Structure 1
Amino acid sequence: MTLTFVRRPPGLQFGGLDVRQLADRAGRTPFFAYDRSAIDIRVRELRNLLPAGMHLHYSIKANPMPAVIHHLAQRVDGFDVASAQEMALALDAGTAPDAIGFAGPGKSHDDLRRAVASGINVHVESETQLRLVTALGWELGVQPSVAIRVNPDFQVGHSGMRMGGGAAPFGVDVDQVPALLRELEAREVALAGFHVFWGSQCLHAATIIKAQRQSADLILRLASGVPRPLRFVNLGGGFGIPYFPGETPLDVKAVCEAMQDWLPPLCERLPGTTPILELGRYLVGEAGIYVCRVIDRKVSRGRTFVVTDGGLHHHLAASGNFGQVLRRNFPVVIGNRPDGVPRERCHVVGCLCTPLDRLADEVELPEAHIGDFVVIMQSGAYGRSASPVRFLSHPEPVEMLV
């Protein structure tokens, strides 16, 4: 069994509205729309598969729109943040400080001061961070709550982005953790847990299963040297979604069933410790679309270019990340054209004066005309907030939860 949202073909509704109604609600193009019902389905189906006792956190970096955060605050057990602004979003949504984890290799003095003052869990990633957190606790008259983010001593394949296993800015190397634990014991801070994040955007169930088992074993090794019970262990996430032709959805059922092998021993040896699964893109990525309007079409040397008012400044990932990666097309449709109309092979480009501003290359679509809507699917994560929205000073896109 796999969990994935149906790719909506042209003419179908999104969040109960068709693309013209969405555009009317947005007031203009381009815009991002996120479907709250699709998010709810994803969370509900995942919770039905997860073993009892496994907590679910949302990683705000995937999509920090405040309305999305407030919606998810009632549906997940906590948030993971990577900046003071993300921390403020989580707190403003009514989340308890002890259900928020703050990770990141480059936390500033101001970031850490606000985190310590608010009482959230600071995931320290170096000796420097631990010492600064300790000093801030003295200054503010509070005992900081910290977790140690661990750079694991294993690497995984089949992952879109590796976050540990070799030399990395993320976390504390496994062999350095015992010394950091000894220093932590001498300081007036409370050790809340461990955080192991091995990678992201993985569609290979066997890889995730292996990484989770190795993470659980690693946590048990490290916890054997801790004199007091841990409040939580964050096992990362890594669940991916399909973007490109040939990719198949992750078999989440297989991953969750395999948790029954390693989770009970972990909980037995660490009684009272809450295991956490941290997911971002998997919860919201397929629940979002990016919509831009066709403002021109032209033929150049036999090739058709559909020109839109959107582009890489709003959706960098769909454009190929400034040409740094192999260019592949996100799922794209003409939102107001049914399948029965004449089709054409074309390039869908944005409004920027750079040849890198391409939303789709050599894609077959219903023939698009000026005023039509180009819809980029799988756009609920790492869209607007991960794009250079000020590049060339065009207006920023609208965002809405429908």
Structure 2
Amino acid sequence: MTTSKHTALSDASIEQAVERFGTPLYLYDAAVVEQKVTELRSCFPEQAELFYSFKCNPLVGIAQLLLRQGCRVEVASGGELTAALHAGYDPSNIVFTSPGKTEEELRLAIRSGIYCINIENMNEIALVDQIAAQHGKTVDIAIRINPDEPQQHAASIKMSGVPSQFGMDPSFLPEAIETALRMANIRLIGFHIYLGTQILQAEAIVRHFGQSIRTAVELADRYGLELRFLDIGGGFGVPYFPKETALDLSALQQGIAQVWQEWGSNLANTRLAVESGRFLMAESGVFVSKVLYTKESKGSHYVIGDGGSHQHASSAFLGRYIRSNFPMRVIGEGVGEQEVTVTGPLCTSTDVIGNKVNLPLASAGDLIVVEKSGAYGLTHSPTMFLSHPVPAEVLIDHERHYVLRERGQFSDCLRGQHPLAEGVTL
């Protein structure tokens, strides 16, 4: 039996939480989140503002924890915007980024008076201007840029330098900028340039930081813009797998300082946004599944738990071609080790959250703990499949437990549904 290095996520603490809140369970440690905020902030100039990427874990309680740490927030939907406002974020500290914002979502953003809408295509410029006119407002926008330069495989999921639904290619920028400048109800205040996600090479982030500033400054000079806002994105990675190494924060800090020494004076009056979700949250959380059964099938050993891929799709690598296992451990009395496949309760062969992993011998009632599950866990998962209740999500903050999401019930699957008897004639 192994023990997490973080006290709040130790075996004893997890067992105590399971006794109170049941399984499956997401459990988060507030102290780890706070530590990650401090670490990331130390890498950037004081002027930079840390924006929490709400998509990675949209719990209102988590958002409030990060608000308490002085974070701003980046949202990607009307639902996320609603939750961010409910969490207490000032609209002046909210930016909205998404390649497919609906008219309804844009109306909500404009009515709410958020700081900036990051624009991703030409049609969106005209739509924002139209809605702004209807509300009698002038709306601040930034144009998201998809640079031409490939990013040398720095990001595990690339969002720039390749064909993408995200942002505008440089060839479209002159038209986009000139169109925005002509519009009566929008104000172009800056640019958004996002490299990608899960980057573990400090030099790649430093290079992107410098390139982004250079691009934004040059565009502002060329078109006579006051560069009031620059969103350089994030993509700070977390090592999940054996051959991965942690992002070198010392190298990142030194590299960013050098870039800032060269370019900082150009951004004296610019609001500088740095985004992060995974780096802040991943290592703060675990996913806990209780072993229901163990079995052998044609020479392979299986551990079947009550939590599966519909509740933690990231650990099951749903939608990816190459599979790697999240780090995981067993809490129980098992001794020795064997190669097992850890599954959930679903009626599909893709419900595998650990494929041929070496774990201590588990028995019914033991707990499977999937590490580094604080980001892109439940929010990233197809929870409707098989209509299981959603897991509880609980935060441990200074030895107190806070239920951030209550455990679902069987009847939740009926919410919003109507029987045929209630049909409406067209």
Q: TM-score range by the shorter chain?
A: over 0.9
**Equivalent of 1:89, from 83, 88, 103?**
83
Uncovered stretches (5+) of structure 1, i.e. residues with no partner: 1-6
Name 1:227's counterpart in structure 2: 224
Residue 180 of structure 2 contacts residue 186 of structure 2 at CA under 8 Å; is this kept in 1? yes
Which aligned pairs between 1:87-126 and structure 2 lie closer than 5 A?
87-120=81-114, 121-126=116-121
Asked if the contact 1:53–1:274 (Cα under 8 Å) also holds between the matched residues in 2, the reply is yes
> Is 2:48 the partner of 1:54?
yes
Structure 1 Cα separation of the partners of residues 157 and 311 of structure 2: 22
CA contact (8 A) 1:164 1:197 kept: yes
Pairwise CA distance, 1:274: 1.9
* Contact residue 206 and residue 259 of structure 2 kept, 8 A: no
d(CA) in 1 for partners of 2:86 and 2:43?
30
User: Which residue type is aligned with residue 304 of structure 2?
Assistant: V
3-state SS of the aligned residue for 1:49? coil
Partner of residue 306, structure 2: 309
Residue 182 of structure 2 is matched in structure 1 by 186
Give the secondary-structure state (helix, strand or coil) at the position aligned to 2:375: coil
Matched, 1:163 2:156: no
| Bigger relative contact order, structure 1 or 2 (CA pairs below 8 A, ≥6 apart) | 1
| Residue pairs, 1:143-154, within 5 angstroms | 143-154=138-149
Between 1:267-276 and 1:8-17, the stretch displaced more is 8-17
TM-score normalised over the length of structure 2: 0.88
Cα distance in 2 for partners of 1:155, 1:256 equals 24
Query: Which residue identity lines up with residue 373 of structure 2 in the other structure?
Result: S
Taking the aligned partners of 2:193 and 2:339, their CA distance within structure 1 comes to 45
Note if 1:213 corresponds to 2:210. Answer: yes
Change (3 A) 1:310 1:32: same
Distance in 2 separating the partners of 1:206 and 1:11: 29
Q: 1:288 to 1:216 in 2, by over 3 A?
A: same
Is 1:274 matched up with 2:268?
no
Summarize the Cα distance change of 1:10–1:260 in structure 2 as closer, same or farther, 3 Å threshold. closer
Give the superposition deviation at 1:49: 3.3
d(CA) in 2 for partners of 1:215 and 1:146?
17
What fraction of aligned residue pairs are identical, expressed as a percent? 35
CA-atom RMSD in angstroms? 1.9
| Alpha-carbon distance in structure 2 between the residues aligned to 1:398 and 1:115 | 30
Amino acid at match of 1:204: Q
Q: Following TM superposition, by how much is the alpha carbon of 1:264 offset from its aligned partner in structure 2, in angstroms?
A: 3.6
1:47 to partner: Cα distance: 2.1
8 Å contact kept, 1:155–1:198: no
**In 2, Cα distance between equivalents of 1:16 and 1:35:** 13
The CA distance in 2 between the partners of 1:13 and 1:307, in whole Å, is 26
C-alpha spacing 1:83/1:302, structure 2 compared with 1 (3 Å): same
Structure 1 residue 140 displacement after superposition? 0.7
The range that moved more, 122-131 or 180-189, is 180-189
Cα gap change, 1:226/1:256 in structure 2, threshold over 3 Å: closer, same or farther? farther
- Indicate whether 1:199 and 2:176 are aligned: no
Native 8 Å contact 2:3 2:11 kept in 1 = no
**Cα distance in 2 between the residues matched to 1:97 and 1:15:** 38
SS of the residue 1:242 aligns to: coil
Partner SS state of residue 224, structure 1: helix
Kindly indicate whether the alpha-carbon contact (under 8 Å) linking 1:286 and 1:378 is maintained by their aligned counterparts in 2: yes
Q: Which moved more, 1:45-54 or 1:358-367?
A: 45-54
- Give 5+ residue unaligned stretches, structure 2: 397-426
The amino acid that maps onto 1:182 is E
Q: Which amino acid aligns with 1:368?
A: A
Partner of 1:65: 59
Give the alignment of 1:226-305 within 5 angstroms. Answer: 226-305=223-302
Deviations 1:264-293 (A, max 9, x none): 443312331022111110000110100010
